[in-house]
Chain A
Amino acid sequence: MQLKRISKHFGEGEARVDALREVSLEVFPRQVVALLGPSGSGKTTLLNVIGCILDPSAGSMELDGDLVLRDGEWQRSNLRRLRLDKIGFIFQFHNLLPFLDATDNVAIVQQLAGADAATARKRASALLDDLEVGHRKHAMPAKLSGGEAQRVAIARALANSPRIILADEPTAALDSKRAGIVMDLLRKLAVEHDATIVAVTHDEKIFDRFDRLFHLRDGRLVDG
């Protein structure tokens, strides 16, 4: 994943706010990296640009060898499909759909990509087994513990074998022991799935689990 001079501003004139200023970075497959910085530094904005859900003002971006953004213009007309095929998301509060059981929460991503229900459920079941929550595959999200829900959310992020996994505060809702377990799991999955993991975090106790730390301040990359 390669970002070149990504900028993003909101508003114009005196109301203009520069959320990102010419951010460039490169991350390789199997790397687990963190975006760090104080509140308002541009971490989430950058995560949204990488996740193709926010239009940057300028810059270029290559994902999995595919130039998806050039000079601030998206090169793909269907960004939804791009997200579905190449990007997985892990959320701070898991964001599991409350009306689907664990298996269907994972299977839905594959079904949205075109897989038939049986195939999707079979792979979802295998992923849940791999993540050691197979015994909870029929449980509704409300019945899952925080750790179980996070594993189901990780399984969902992996369902379409994405090349990039974006994680928004993946350990914020977990205690330090579980946070360590989740980070080890993400590292393992990055290697197994040949994927890049980019996480936004404030959680200092897991900084040592990342391959690289990118520090942002006032929209600029100041260290990384």
Chain B
Amino acid sequence: MRVLRIAQEGARALAGHKLRTFFMMAGTIVGIAALTVIMAVGKGTEQKVMKRVNAFGTHVIMITAGGGKGFSPPQEGVTTLRPDDAEAIRAQVPGIELLNVFAMKRGPPVKAGANQTQAVVTATDQNWHEAWDWPVTDGEPITDEDQATMARVCVLGTTTARELFGDQNPIGEYVQVGNVRFRVKGVLQTRGVSPHGGDFDSRVMIPLSTGLRRLFNQDHITNIRLKVGDSSRLTQLGEEVRQLLRRRHTITPPKEDDFSVFTAAEVAKEARGISRTLTYLLSALAGLSLLVGGIVLMNILLISVGERKKEIGLRRALGATQGDIFRQFLVESLSVTIIGMVTGSLLGWAVSVVLARVTQSPVVISWEPFALALAFALVVGVFFGVQPARRAAKLRPVEALR
């Protein structure tokens, strides 16, 4: 095919002038390599964020007593969040699959025999285990019966169990929280680090009714956790919940909410911080260098057209059409950017791997940078190759041969 033969001529021209070809490629190589590394690091950070979001729960809306910015533990002294708020939400906001009401308190010492420790004491209803996807690995969970009877039972987190009972099985033993004795009926699955960075397994779970009435002596709760059926409506449902609570607590802006509503999206945004913006900015700067590389490419190609006047005149004399010359130079430009893209991608990949090993930070190699790089290479190659190619094609053979 004629086009293929022309392409071959272009390839031969590039191979014949290796240094010049290398210079034409330099910008693309460097720009694509930088872009690849930046995107790999960005993806790695994004992965970290997703882990945090998953730990929070992708279908979850968390309501915390006490306002303020940021996803944080409940504030002491806020008494306005109540169980009937939860009922109102269940009744009036559609799409809620599961509701879990609980009151957290950190601080009261937990004793078992001679051992004592500090833990988060959580008084919760029977929906806890399902709402948090957090089953017991030993013994039994908090049930609605416990709730109904204000039973004095508890479920321990693995850290607390270990601190109080060592290797001994805690089921059936008794712990004392404040001045109330609880029988241990279960041990929770190990979870690890909490979304706030603390130890998730340092906890004591008791029935909500027992906690509010017997231990804390209060009517208010600290949290409501909602599980939503359709995660795409999270933000919208979060807003509905927020409006409902504002009405119930008679809060009108500019007064601040005495509660905070958090969805996975907001947790993600907070975890991300500036990293996403930073990645975009750095990618744009890398793209800028690609652009500069394209201009360098165009410049070199333009000059080379001038240098190759006689050759172009010859080809035309031998029967090349304007189209043939145009296509040859365009192929030269495209080949440069494509080979540059491949080289740059490989280089970027290598640097990413080294970076991951050295900094021990997450770096993810995916296909997206390659696809983006290819698109860039094609666009830059065509855009910056057109002008020189046109100039070459428009040379009049008679003048070129002079």
Indicate, yes or no, whether A interacts with B: no
Q: Measuring CB to CB, which residues of chain B are less than 8 angstroms from any residue of chain A?
A: none
Q: Measuring CB to CB, which residues of chain A are less than 8 angstroms from any residue of chain B?
A: none
